[in-house]
Chains A and B, each alone.
Chain A
Amino acid sequence: MSNGYQEAGHGTDLAPGDEHVEGGVGLRVIGYLTGLGLAILLTATSFFVAGTDLVWQPSIPVALVVLAIAQMGVHLVFFLHITTGPDNTNNVLALAFGVLIVFLVMAGSLWIMANLNHNMMPMDQLMQMQR
Chain B
Amino acid sequence: MTDTTMAYSHGDPQLRSMAGAIAHSGPAPKRIVTGYGFWIFILSDMVMFSAFFATYAVLGGQTAGGPSGHELFDLHNVAIETGFLLASSFTCGLATIAADTRNAIWFQLAMAVTCVLGLGFLAIEGNEFASLVMRGAGPTRSAFLSAFFTLVGCHGLHVSAGILWLLTMMAQVTAKGFRADILRRILCFALFWHALDIIWIAVFTVVYLLGSAA
Enumerate chain A interface residues (CB-CB to B < 8 A).
Answer: 1-4, 7-8, 11, 13-18, 21, 25, 28-29, 32-33, 35-36, 39-40, 43, 46-47, 50-51, 60-61, 64-65, 67-68, 71-72, 75-76, 79-80, 90-91, 94-95, 97-98, 101-102, 105-106, 108-110, 113
Minimal Cβ-Cβ distance residue in A for B194: A79
Most buried by B among A15, A28, A106: A15
CA distance A75 to B197 in the complex (A): 8
Residue B205 interfacial (CB < 8 Å): yes
Q: Which 3 A-B pairs have the closest CB atoms?
A: A15-B35, A98-B43, A4-B31
Q: Which residue of the partner chain, among B32, B38, B53, B94, contacts A32 with CB atoms under 8 Å? A: B94
Contact across chains for B194 and A72 when beta carbons are under 8 A apart:
no
Q: Which residue of the partner chain, among A4, A61, A98, contacts B47 with CB atoms under 8 Å? A: A98
Chain A residues, CB < 8 A from B180: 7
Chain A residues, CB < 8 A from B101: 1, 25
CA distance A21 to B96 in the complex (A): 12
Stretch of B82-90, B119-127, B159-167 at the chain-chain interface: B82-90
CA distance A29 to B209 in the complex (A): 31
Contact across chains for A50 and B213 when beta carbons are under 8 A apart:
yes
Residue B137 interfacial (CB < 8 Å): no
Residue B15 interfacial (CB < 8 Å): no
By secondary structure, the A interface counts as: helix
Bin the interface of chain B by size.
Answer: 35 or more
Contact across chains for B31 and A97 when beta carbons are under 8 A apart:
no
Min CB distance A108 to B, Å, is 8
Enumerate chain B interface residues (CB-CB to A < 8 A).
Answer: 28-29, 31-32, 34-36, 38-40, 43-44, 46-47, 50-51, 53-55, 57-58, 75, 79, 82-83, 86-87, 89-90, 93-94, 96-97, 100-101, 180, 183-184, 187, 190-191, 194-195, 197-198, 201-202, 204-206, 209-210, 212-214
A-B contact pairs, 20 of them (CB 8 A): A4-B184, A8-B31, A15-B31, A15-B35, A18-B187, A36-B86, A36-B90, A43-B83, A50-B209, A61-B214, A64-B205, A68-B201, A68-B205, A75-B198, A79-B197, A98-B43, A102-B50, A105-B47, A109-B51, A110-B54
Min CB distance B194 to A, Å, is 4
Chain A residues, CB < 8 A from B46: 98, 102
Beyond the given pairs A35-B93, A80-B195, 18 more chain A to chain B contacts, judged by CB atoms under 8 angstroms and listed by A's residue number, are: A7-B31, A11-B32, A15-B36, A16-B191, A18-B31, A39-B86, A43-B82, A47-B75, A50-B210, A61-B214, A68-B205, A68-B206, A75-B198, A97-B43, A98-B44, A101-B47, A102-B47, A105-B51
